[in-house]
Amino acid sequence: MPSVIFLGTPKFGSVVLQGLIDAKYDIRAVVTQPDKKVGRKQVLHESSVKQTAKANNLPVYQPAKLSGSEEMAELIKINPDFIITAAYGQFLPTKFLNAAKIAPVNVHGSLLPKYRGGAPIQYSLINGDAETGVTIMQMVKKMDAGDIYAQKSIKIEPEDNSGTLFEKLSIIGRDLLLDTLPKFIDNTITQVPQDEEKVVFSPNISKDQEQIKTTMTASQANNLIRGLNPDPGAYLLFDNKRLKVWQAEVSPDKTDLPAGSLVSNKKRFALAFAGGSVLDLLEVQPNGKKRMNIKDFANGQGSRFKIGEKIIND
């Protein structure tokens, strides 16, 4: 089987890596981001890709920066048939990409040229897209700008968030990659240049983007919540304190109350947003506390507010 250097970090990448392993590709090296300290106790956490590599006794490289590193020099000497990436999270130098004897290939979680960059799955939800998909593409120096080898689209369901989409697209990406790689071997691969006039970028989510604002409609707020669940999570400034919202639902109701006002706190906890739209909160997390369903929140912290009171700050 062809030899491979694989680069990836989150579960999206580990699903693709496991697919290559199960298909008996010769994985010569796995490259992933350095272990990361997580949580209040700052426990060192290995990436999902590293865990998969270790479980299969594969050599793991974790340079803080691949470009110019000793690790890159070692990897180039491997001279594999394919260099394959899936959500690695670092820039790859041309010198490294050129080490692939057949091709450097990327598994990207969008329908390119839409959503080049580090957060394509999140932006497909935030922007309320009806569909998304996976692109198998050529890796070049310019970010996500290489020719397209294969694509497959799926419908975005109303209940999807970035967690469920990552899971769905990782499986699609794995299967599409395994269908595509043999075409290189038998010389039946085709490649299509991206239309530069249709390029849309999806840069990494910034801290400022995590806040749900009352200038949004209920639908826009709900899309942001879905796009940032499970990480990093969207929040409201509720009574001047952060309230993370993990799940919500757009109400068919309309209101004349100002955006940010409490519409209902009885059987539901509903807030007014732009254009008279209404958002029902379903699962929240007050600052410093655990997640809770909205009934518990409404009976506790939310019970002291009156209908019509403006409780959300921008």
pLDDT digits (tens, 9 = 90+) for 126-180: 999 999 999 999 999 899 999 999 999 999 999 999 999 999 999 999 999 999 9
Question: Average pLDDT for residues 39-57, to the nearest whole number?
Answer: 91
Q: What pLDDT does residue 196 have?
A: 96
So what's the pLDDT on residue 40?
72
- In this prediction the pTM is 0.94
Give CA–CA dist 143/43, Å, rounded. Answer: 32
**Element holding 236 (H helix, E strand):** strand 234-238
Q: For 266-279, what is the mean pLDDT?
A: 94
How far is C-alpha 101 from the geometric centre of its chain's CA atoms? 30
Q: What is the pLDDT of residue 28?
A: 98
pLDDT band of residue 265 (cuts 50, 70, 90) is confident
Look over the chain and give the mean of its residue pLDDT values, rounded to a whole number.
95
Structure tokens at 219: 């639908």
Name the pLDDT band for 218 (thresholds 50, 70, 90).
Answer: very high
What is the percentage of the chain residues whose pLDDT exceeds 70? 100
Mean pLDDT of 60-77: 96
**What is the structure's pLDDT at 192?**
98
Mean pLDDT of 58-63: 98
Residue 82: enclosing H or E segment and its boundaries?
strand 82-86
Using CA atoms, how far residue 11 sits from 16, 143, 166, 176, in Å, is 9, 21, 8, 17
pLDDT score at 199 = 98
The three-state secondary structure class of 38 is: strand
Q: What angle do CA 13, 200, 17 make, to 5 degrees?
A: 10
Predicted confidence band at 303 (pLDDT cuts at 50, 70, 90)? confident
72-98 residue pLDDT tens: 999 999 999 999 999 998 999 999 999
Beta bridge partners of 29: 5
Mean pLDDT over 213-242 rounds to 95
Q: How far is CA 68 from the centre of its chain?
A: 28
Distance from C-alpha of 44 to C-alpha of 126, rounded to nearest angstrom = 31
Distance in angstroms (rounded) separating the CA atoms of residues 132 and 141: 24
Q: Mean pLDDT, to the nearest integer, of 289-301?
A: 92
Which stretches of 148-231 are assigned E, i.e. beta strand? 148-155, 200-201
Q: Given its phi and psi angles, is residue 52 left (phi above 0), alpha (psi -120 to 50 degrees) or beta? A: alpha
207 falls in which pLDDT band (50, 70, 90)? very high
